[in-house]
Amino acid sequence: MNNTRFSSKNWRTAFAVYIQPQVLSMIALGFSAGLPYLLIFSTLSAWLRDEGIERSVIGFFSWVSATYSIKILWSPVVDKVYLPILTRFLGQRRSWMLVAQFGIIAGLIGMASVDTHTQLTTIAFCATFVAFCSATQDVSIDAFRIELSSTDLQGAMAAMYVLGYRLALLVAGAGSFYIAEFFDWKIAYFVMAATMSFGVITTLFLNAPTVENSVKTRSNTTFLMKFQDAIIHPFTDFFTRQGRLGWLILLLIAIYKMSDITMGVMANPFYLDLGFKKTEIAEITKIFGFFMTIAGAALGGVFVARYGVMRPLLIGAITAASTNLLFAVLANTKPDLVLLAGVISADNLSGGFATSVFIAYLSGLARSDYTATQYALFSSLMTFPAQFLGGFSGVIVDHFGYRNFFLYASVIGLPAIFLVIGLLRHEKISVKE
């Protein structure tokens, strides 16, 4: 009886983290980060497919989003370099956010201003610029989030960040589909560029973390010392803390989201090729799917607060890989909104859970002295291998069909499951010792 009361109290405490001010602020930051992503990924895939662009070309277009995966190259600059005037008024993190947000707006306007058939290269260039600016914004937001609060709130903060991110995906996904259905895709992208102003307003009114790295305190150091502090120390610090286990952790980061991201490249072309209307895709996969994702993310945050990170991380890896099998089933049926809703429910619920847990895991690995650089390393590893494979998704679909593609996407999720099990066992052995 006493154990029941103790458990109930723990659950109440776990849910109470969501009313903390720093946790709630993550909704706005998540929205700002999430809005550009679909516009250069699956929404762009739908636009191109709707214009009659070949699926193989669309698959290679997904490599634009690989820009997110190489942000580690310039993350030390975001971590350590002051922007003239802006940093004085906004602080280190928010000044980089603001510059990146204006770049995103400019890139989206550029995409909406050219012809998809005669100026496809220009669209690719503008999309890459949006990805670069969006990745830069992510680096600064991730550092801002991690520096804002202690580790025990990171799970809930990740969940609220996912909430804001998914709200933005709803706008960039369902919103774009509705606008494209009643107007056209160019109008949709102009509207999305205007919507990005919400991120600008948010950045201007946020309070800076109490712990922000200061370049001024290092102004008297030599160039070599600055280089070591910005580039070398973040990596040596990670391996000093993790030891040989660091390589296994980096491998897990590289493959954990591989199944989910690889599948996502062909999702919207798949729905269109099955015969679903753009409004149906918006209502089921974007709006309905949004609520399933948020439920999964919230559940993930609670599980992290209640059970720690590793066991929920294993659950997320298993469900993310297994739900791709449902899409293989869907590929062999006629268009059915009820079946589509069921598949989307399972996929988005597991995806939201896995994402919030994984963000909490990555946040716990970063050290405050090198937050932006280390987290950028983790998130780059998280996406690059999957995005590279995703570039060939259109070729796989053209040669083997959607069913085999989704089976392939499920199988490549198996190594992540085994690796989490291995790290979980290592953790248990370390606790016993």
Q: Are 180 and 48 in contact (CB under 8 A)?
A: no
Counting residues of the chain whose pLDDT is more than 90, the rounded percentage is 19
Residue 364: name the closest of 241, 281, 273, 258 by CA.
241
266 versus 408: the higher-pLDDT residue is: 408
Cα gap 257→237, rounded to integer Å: 25
Which tens digit of pLDDT belongs to each residue from 320-336? 888 889 998 898 888 88
Domain ranges, ordered by start, for the chain: 17-432
pLDDT tens digits for range 335-352: 888 898 998 899 989 988
Contact 8, 91 (CB under 8 A): no
Q: Is residue 382 a contact partner of residue 188, using CB atoms and an 8 Å limit?
A: no
How high is the pLDDT of residue 137?
93
Residue type for position 329? V
Residue 316's pLDDT is 92
What is the structure's pLDDT at 218? 46
How far, in Å, are 21, 82, 202, 206 from residue 90 at the CA level?
20, 11, 12, 9
What's the confidence (pLDDT) of residue 372? Answer: 66
For 114-152, the pLDDT digits (tens) are 888 888 889 999 999 999 999 999 988 888 877 776 556
Sign of the alpha-carbon torsion through 108, 112, 117, 122? negative
- Note the pLDDT of residue 213: 47
Instruction: Count Cβ atoms below 10 Å from residue 369 Cβ, excluding itself.
Output: 14
User: Per-residue pLDDT for 418 more than 60?
Assistant: yes
Helix (H, G, I), strand (E, B) or coil at 216: helix
> Could you tell me which residues come within 8 angstroms of residue 382 by beta carbon, excluding any fewer than 6 positions away?
69, 253, 254, 256, 257, 358, 362
Q: Amino acid identity, residue 204?
A: L
Q: Quote the longest CA-to-CA distance of the chain.
A: 72
* For residue 425, pLDDT beyond 90: no
Q: What are phi and psi of 211, to 5 degrees?
A: -110, 100
Contact 403, 332 (CB under 8 A): yes
pLDDT confidence of residue 75: 79
Question: Which tens digits make up the pLDDT trace of 360-386?
Answer: 888 788 776 666 677 777 877 777 787
pLDDT beyond 70 at 428: no
The class of domain 17-432 in CATH terms is mainly alpha
What is the mean predicted confidence (pLDDT) over 160-173? 85
Q: 273: number of CA atoms within 13 Å, CB side?
A: 21
- Read off the pLDDT of each residue in 41-66 and give the average, rounded to a whole number: 82
Percent of all residues in the chain with a pLDDT value above 70, rounded to a whole number: 85
Overall average pLDDT of the 105-117 stretch: 91
pLDDT band of residue 190 (cuts 50, 70, 90) is very high
Q: Which amino acid is at 99?
A: V
Q: Does 219 have pLDDT greater than 50?
A: no
pLDDT of residue 224 exceeding 60: no
Q: What pTM does this model have?
A: 0.66
pLDDT of amino acid 215: 43
Judged by average pLDDT, the poorest of 44-53, 155-164, 191-200, 210-219 is 210-219
What does the pLDDT read at residue 9?
44
